[in-house]
Structure 1
Amino acid sequence: MGVYLLDYGAGNVRSLVNAVNKLGYEIKHVESPQDLLKAEKLIFPGVGAFGAAMVRLHTTGYDKALKEYIESGRPFMGICVGMQCLFEGSDESPNVKGLGLIPSTVKKFNPATKSVPHMGWNSAALAQPNSGLAELNHDGDEDTRYYFVHSFAVPASKAIQDWTFSTTTYGDETFVSAVRKGNVFATQFHPEKSGWAGLKVLRSFLSYNPQGNGLANSTQPHADASSIIPKDHLTRRIIACLDVRANDKGDLVVTKGDQYDVRERATEGADVRNLGKPVELARRYFEQGADEITFLNITAFRDIPLHDLPMLEVLKRTSESVFVPLTIGGGIRDLTNPDGTVIPALQVAGEYFRSGADKVSIGSDAVYAAEQYYASGRQLTGQTAIEQIARVYGAQAVVISVDPRRVYVDSPQDAPTHHVIPTKFPGPNGEQYCWYQCTVKGGREGRDLDVYQLVTACEALGAGEVLLNCMDKDGTNSGYDLELVADVKRAVKIPVIASSGAGCVEHFGEVFNQTGVEAALAAGIFHREEVPIEQVKSYLKKEGFDVRGMGTGL
């Protein structure tokens, strides 16, 4: 079958190719507008900004070719920005026209009432019955959550009810999460990142046998989408984190340290603690219901060219069997190849995206970027890695990883340049206040910058998510630092992931209840199988939280 993929050059399409292959189909890349003449089915995934995608289509001639393809009646599937391009335009890029197929405009979510981007697993309420080109909601409510990651969406309205296939509610806004009419089907969510439920959506499109002649062939009854107001079913995400390091033999292993010490014993000659192989562990966590997988590369690999970095191969292999979002952290900065060639951070990130990553996590360089931001009088230069990656791939692709430690003070006046908060846990000398010092170089060096200053600066620079660690809590199994997490959650409007300290299922409930964060991450307790992911999900569900089920496979 002539299934083709239109990739305009941004983001992770490897996972989509792997998902199609997993379903038993081959897919070919479109290399010129003329290739669309050969396609029997076409998938158009989009990542990043609406304007960048449409400019690319306009300058390459794909815009006209796409319209001609759709008018021919052959099946078309758009994903994320690939769906948004079907509309007349977007507030994200007001001066750039869309394909104009659907008479509406893409709008930005209201950040005054919720975190933006909308990031995570949410439900889709059908506005048309399932049949034909694509199907949603296969296994019941719990197991049919789909993965969304976007700041802009199309508001549900009666004016486009003949196009609206499903709607989703985020906070106080209901938007179109899928469109379907005639031979056209598109989703705002990412089916290739939506686990088994998403793979079934892809399978329904790939197995569809087209009949009729294009858009005019649409006889399904349509509900008024603006009157369908489903509940916001955005789930709390449970993320498995894998610290990956080369051991003394040069093999990549998943490790976990006590206060960042990853060797078995504090004696000379002890090898790196080995808790498993990264690809195998990631697959296990996907099958157990992890909502995302995060790889943190804690080996520098300084003398290896970019294209030979071992973590690229880890991502490629993982994305063959893991169909949830993958984040890679460590080394997302300007690199120098052994031949002296300087590789910009944007290019480094692009290599990881093409290898299967959906997000990159920036640690030390985020601290340096924040310091530059304040030194310049809060000016955006466009030169930081955060700004450049967010501009090309979207804010949702940039995570900042924060490694802070507590500094106790007697009063706020003792740290006048920092964000000081009261604490219920006094310091060693009875101090009632503290601030959180940012660190770099894996926690080895402290900086004169606090967490509040860091996260607000990085949000202004364009980051889309905060991975909030805590050096004082790492490896303690005593629970998350709720004071730190709650303070950061209040400081920013982007999603926050709580990390460091989880030791039992109750700790996950505490951090969600008391701070309102969108996600919680753990590592050692999952690796050692002390607290299985399924147990965490069962507990949260019992406590009344929306969580995604494991799914039932294909």
Structure 2
Amino acid sequence: MVTVLDYGAGNVRSVVNAIGSLGREVRFVERPEDILQAERLVFPGVGAFGEMMRVLRHRGYVEPLLAYLRSDRPFLGICLGLQALFEGSEEAPGEDGLGFFPGIVRRFRVDLAVPHIGWNGIKARKPSVLFRGVEGNEKVYFVHSYHVEPRDPSVVLTATDYGVEFVSAVEKGRVAAVQFHPEKSGPVGLKILKNFLEGTGAPVLPRVVEPKTQLAKRIIACLDVRANDRGDLVVTKGDQYDVREKGQVRNLGKPVDLARRYYEEGADEITFLNITGFRDFPLKDMPMLEVLRRTSEKVFVPLTIGGGIRDYTDKDGTRYGALQVASEYFRSGADKVSIGSDAVTVVEEVLKTGAPTGRSAIEEISRVYGSQAVVISIDPRRVYVPSPDAVPHRVMETAFPGPGGERYCWYQCTVKGGREGRPVDAVTLARVCEDLGAGEILLNCIDRDGTNLGFDLELIHAVREAVTIPVIASSGAGCPEHFLEVFTRTRAEAALAAGIFHRREVGIGEVKELLRGKVPVRLPLG
């Protein structure tokens, strides 16, 4: 029996599913006594440090948790569950941590995108049972803006490089904690989790392959999901956002089946975009929640869900907040939520008033679940203009003149599936959303969608250079070379594709094989 300490924030379903896939039963902590009675305790933490510690104290979990740790019983902390073991965090000044290990949690101060999101390596600093069957060149999945600085070097289990070398796992006796997510790290993560659950065998020290680890460029498979004319949820794909062909919704497969296929092919993440979400309230859209639940049972890489993450008042006058909607997605298996059209509305209001309200979906979700849980999906189109000062927006010179020979353009943000343009440009939208607390940008391009002409490098470069959070390039990929092009000519951290994967025109493995040795990627092992 494995006991999971679920304090109510983030996606614990994936942890439970990963443990279940290894043949173990799970029970949840419901009372403080459950902690002391646990045989093996797993503490998956996702979100904000201060909110986590306040919940632990409110529920009376702090003292029994410390008693459990001091008794040197099997414990595995994950992500925020690692940070909680230390004395405090720069994320929440004045809020004490558990203080089991001496040290502090600090924000990354690097000239790289923060949060640190994606697949990176680990360098073992001492032998551990957790490493049985783990090779020194395998990568695991990280998503965090803060890292621990222990004052006792003897507890350091692994280190990882991201601008600086940081501690990515600690271990003392039978108490271990990792900054990465084993439940989202594919087969290698399941090995580490299995080793913890078994807790037997001699400690192992994996060989060091490279003196420094590297963050991999991510290849993301995107599944646009909507109901077809018979009411079944299907994966579809549009050409410049038109998903109908001969009057019928294009049906490219079942969401759960395709997600599993992409996981097995080596996709680094899976993104679901519920493209009817702006019309259908997600809490009533039970089939989409069920898609997440079923996918998370077999797919052990990060899942993002977008569509309808907004405030809503139903016909009876009952109000549901965007935070409540996001919470349902997280509890159903999502790791991140993507906000699209509603982000444009939020930014327009900020630009109009000059100040955020503190109550927008972006702010509320990032405050509770952390910035890494909030992705902003931007859907811009090119608008050509004759001169740099023709419009009050971010105008750039382009190598691809307009129909009238125009040498300048700006990228107009759209809403409602690209059907309505708004007076805000993509660069401004990305900057404001970062200030509001977003942790990642998914950058689409209506002009390139479905064309197979390659990513819009000018757009991607402009947005990536304007923000300090990761950018996912999207729209236009038609061959493996387009992925190499976007990674070598822009600083995008990830690239996403849909139609070419769905139609098997290009395989994920084919893309990664081309990238091998040219940019860092996570390669399937064995």
TM over 0.5: yes
Percent of residue pairs bearing the same amino acid type: 62
**Aligned counterpart for 1:330 among listed residues 289, 307, 314:** 307
CA distance in 2, matches of 1:533, 1:79: 29
Aligned to 1:343: 320
Shift of 1:56: 1.2
Q: Is 2:46 the counterpart of 1:54?
A: no
Deviation digits for residues 451-510 of structure 1, max 9, x if unmatched?
111000100000000000000000000000000000000000000000000000000000
Alignment match, 2:374: 398
* SS of equivalent to 2:251: coil
Does the residue aligned with 2:158 lie in a helix, a strand or coil?
strand
2:263 aligns with 286
Which structure 2 residue ranges, 5 or more long, are not aligned? Answer: none
Q: Tell me which residue corresponds to 2:521.
A: 547
User: What is the alpha-carbon distance in structure 2 between the residues aligned to residue 231 and residue 305 of structure 1?
Assistant: 43
Instruction: Tell me which residue corresponds to 2:70.
Output: 71
Q: Pairwise mapping of residues 428-467 of structure 1 onto structure 2 (< 5 A)?
A: 428-467=403-442
Aligned length: 524
TM-score by length of 1: 0.92
Alignment of 1:160 with 2:189, yes or no, is no
Give the deviation of 1:336 after TM superposition.
3.2
What is the match of residue 318 of structure 1? 295
Say which SS state the counterpart of residue 413 (structure 2) adopts. strand
For 1:140 and 1:67, the matched residues in 2 are separated by: 33
Q: Do 2:401 and 2:407's aligned partners in 1 also have CA atoms closer than 8 Å?
A: yes
- Residue number in structure 2 paired with 1:380: 356
- What do the CA deviations read for 1:344-389 (whole angstroms, capped 9, x no partner)? 1000000000000000000001001111111121x23211000000
Secondary structure, aligned partner of 1:457? helix
| Deviation of the 1:130 alpha carbon | 3.1
8 Å Cα contact 1:306/1:337 also seen in 2: no
CA shift for structure 1 position 129: 1.6
Q: 1:243 aligns with which of 218, 224, 229?
A: 224
Q: Give the SS at the match of 1:87.
A: coil
Q: CA contact under 8 A between 1:196 and 1:551: conserved in structure 2?
A: no
Contact (CA 8 Å) 2:279, 2:308: kept in 1 or not? Answer: no
Whole-angstrom distance in 1 between the partners of 2:282 and 2:390: 47
Match of 1:17 in 2: 16
Which residue pairs with 1:95 in the alignment? Answer: 94
CA contact (8 A) 2:282 2:308 kept: no
Q: RMSD over aligned Cα, in angstroms? A: 1.9
Q: Is the 8 A contact 2:221 2:262 kept in 1?
A: yes
Change (3 A) 1:221 1:311: closer
- Counterpart position of 1:410: 386
Aligned pairs for 1:89-238 within 5 A:
89-111=88-110, 113-131=111-129, 134-135=130-131, 138-141=134-137, 144-155=138-149, 159-171=151-163, 173-209=164-200, 230-238=211-219
1:52 positional shift: 0.9
- Contact 1:183–1:210 (CA<8 Å) still a contact in 2? no
Change in 2 beyond 3 A, CA 1:175/1:151: same
Q: Provide the rounded CA distance (Å) in 1 between the counterparts of 2:258 and 2:384.
A: 38
* Preserved contact between residue 256 and residue 523 of structure 1 (Cα < 8 Å): yes
Q: In 2, are the aligned partners of 1:334 and 1:345 still within 8 Å (CA)?
A: yes
Q: What one-letter code is carried by the residue in structure 2 that aligns with 1:504?
A: C
Name which of 257, 278, 282 aligns with 2:238: 257
In the alignment, the residues of structure 1 paired with residue 377 and residue 345 of structure 2 have an alpha-carbon distance, to the nearest angstrom, of 13
Aligned counterparts of 1:297 and 1:307: Cα–Cα separation in 2: 13
Secondary structure of residue in 1 paired with 2:264 = helix
What are structure 1's unaligned runs of at least 5 residues?
Answer: 212-219, 223-227
1:15-43 Cα distance to aligned partner (Å, 9 max, x none): 00000000110110010101123210000
Q: 1:483 to 1:351 in 2, by over 3 A?
A: same
Q: Measure how far apart 1:302 and its partner are.
A: 5.0
* Separation in structure 2 between the aligned mates of residue 137 and residue 105 of structure 1, nearest angstrom: 31
Could you tell me how far 1:551 is from its partner in structure 2? Answer: 3.7
The change in CA–CA distance for 1:516 and 1:312 in structure 2 (over 3 A counts) is: same
Residues 174, 229 of structure 1: 8 Å contact kept: no
Amino acid at match of 1:545: V
Whether the 8 Å contact between 2:278 and 2:416 is mirrored in structure 1 is no
Q: Please give the alpha-carbon distance, in whole angstroms, between the structure 1 residues aligned to 2:282 and 2:107.
A: 40
Distance 1:305 1:413, change over 3 A: closer
Q: CA deviation at 1:160?
A: 2.2
- Give the letter aligned to residue 241 of structure 1: C
8 A contact 1:164–1:176 mirrored in 2: yes
Contact kept? 2:372, 2:440, Cα under 8 Å: yes
Q: Which residue of 1 aligns with 2:348?
A: 371
Match of 1:476 among 440, 444, 451: 451
The answer to whether the 8 Å contact 2:312/2:320 transfers is yes
Amino acid in structure 1 at the alignment position of 2:131: E
